[in-house]
Structure 1
Amino acid sequence: MTVIPTLKTERLLLRAPTFEDWPDFWELMKSERSVYMGGPFSTVHAWGDFCQGIAQWKMFGFGSLSIEVISTNQCVGRVEINYGPRCPEPELGWQVFDFAEGKGYAFEAAIEMRRWAFEVRELQTLVSYIDPRNQRSQGLAERLGAALDETAEKQDPDDLVYRHS
């Protein structure tokens, strides 16, 4: 049985997703903010994406973790490593709910998830597939130290691929 890890940073707990995290995730996925991920999505598609992040733990030993603020116990988004038919390489991804943007949560969570992936899971590479219109995610990838890799296979033909080292 695969154990989903719990990771901790100064402000955040990265933990297994629960059904209580679903309503805010659904709000994000049906909103215009999801356009950079191919949305807005139907309930069925969003539910499939939510569950896929959990199922990948069993298949690959990595997947989605909910981002919870320790001081409030509030879930503010998720950080994940995706793989499978939609992702040519393991992908470090992040989503922060509307009410939690601009507080550095995605940056803090992505740093910890990347550290775990390289040090504990011993992955050799991680990329982030980013819609070219999503300047905030591009900026975050660059703050994380990822570099644009124009030779990498893309998830979508228009994606930018940032490689983490």
Structure 2
Amino acid sequence: MTITPHAPTIYTADLILRGYVESDFDAFAAFGGSERSKFVGGPQSQWDSWRAFLAGIGHWMLRGYGMWMVEHRSSGETAGRVGMINNKGWDEPELGWHIYDGFEGKGYAYQASIAARDHAARYFGLNGVISYIDPANTRSVALARRLGAGFERVGQLLGKPCHIYRHPTLGVA
């Protein structure tokens, strides 16, 4: 695998998937400190959000892939994060998504996830990946299904039960 120390930039119709910049932190921390983050280890303190923010940057350095920051093209606002995660102790790389307050319900998670999944399959060799989803997170379950992922099995993530959805293998050259 080729190490990608900086996230490549991907453009979609409405979004820019790009690397982290410090000005993203306020939106990142607002999500991390809110109840909306309960399915991804939150809510968390400002300090824990800062550590998670830095870990996202470090993931690119260590693994050669990671989660992109999602920027809304027309407003320039930070709209969320999407991409590949493979933390120590995880079964395999995961496609994950977090869409921030004010940007949900507009199809941005779908748009960003399709772009990230395609890029990961083409350039990182990550094809047919999984998503760990808390079954109570009905919006993420619906998105996984819309992305063509199917329920594979019950698993565990960070000591908590979850459902594992398998994304389709993409025909990439």
Q: What range is the shorter-chain TM-score in?
A: over 0.9
Relative to structure 1, the CA distance from residue 86 to residue 21 in structure 2 (aligned partners, 3 Å threshold; closer, same or farther) is: farther
1:136-164 CA distance string (max 9 Å, x none) = 0000000000111116x532441111111
The aligned counterpart of 1:20 is 23
- The amino acid of 1:95's aligned partner reads H
Aligned to 2:126: 123
Measure, in 2, the Cα distance between the counterparts of 1:133 and 1:3.
34
CA contact under 8 A between 1:90 and 1:125: conserved in structure 2? no
CA spacing shift, 1:64–1:84, aligned 2, 3 Å: same
- The match for 1:84 among 83, 87, 102 is 87
Q: Is residue 4 of structure 1 aligned with residue 13 of structure 2?
A: no
Cα separation, 2, equivalents of 1:159 and 1:89 = 14
Contact 1:17 1:64 in 2 (8 A): no
Give deviations 1:21-57, integer Å, cap 9, x for gaps.
1111111111111111121112222222211111111
- 4+ aligned runs moved over 3 Å, structure 1: none
Structure 2 counterpart of 1:113, from 88, 93, 116: 116
* Residue in 2 that maps onto 1:133: 136
TM-score (norm: length of structure 2): 0.88
Gaps in structure 1 of 5+ consecutive residues: none
Partner of 2:66: 63
- TM-score normalised over the length of structure 1: 0.92
Deviations 1:50-74 (A, max 9, x none): 1111111111110121111112212
Q: Does structure 2 conserve the Cα–Cα contact (< 8 Å) formed by 1:4 and 1:57?
A: yes
- The aligned residue for residue 154 of structure 1 is 156
Aligned to 1:75: 78
Percent identity over the alignment is: 38
Aligned with 2:96 (options 89, 93, 100)? 93
The CA distance in 1 between the partners of 2:13 and 2:165, in whole Å, is 26
Q: Residue 53 of structure 2 aligns with which residue?
A: 50
Would you say how many aligned residue pairs link Structure 1 and Structure 2? 164
Q: Which consecutive unaligned segments of at least 5 residues does structure 2 have?
A: 169-173
SS across alignment from 1:99: coil
Tell me the C-alpha RMSD between the 2 structures: 1.5
Q: 2:167 is matched with which residue?
A: 164
Give yes or no for the alignment of 1:30 onto 2:49: no
SS in 2 for 1:41: coil
Number of the residue aligned with 1:142: 145
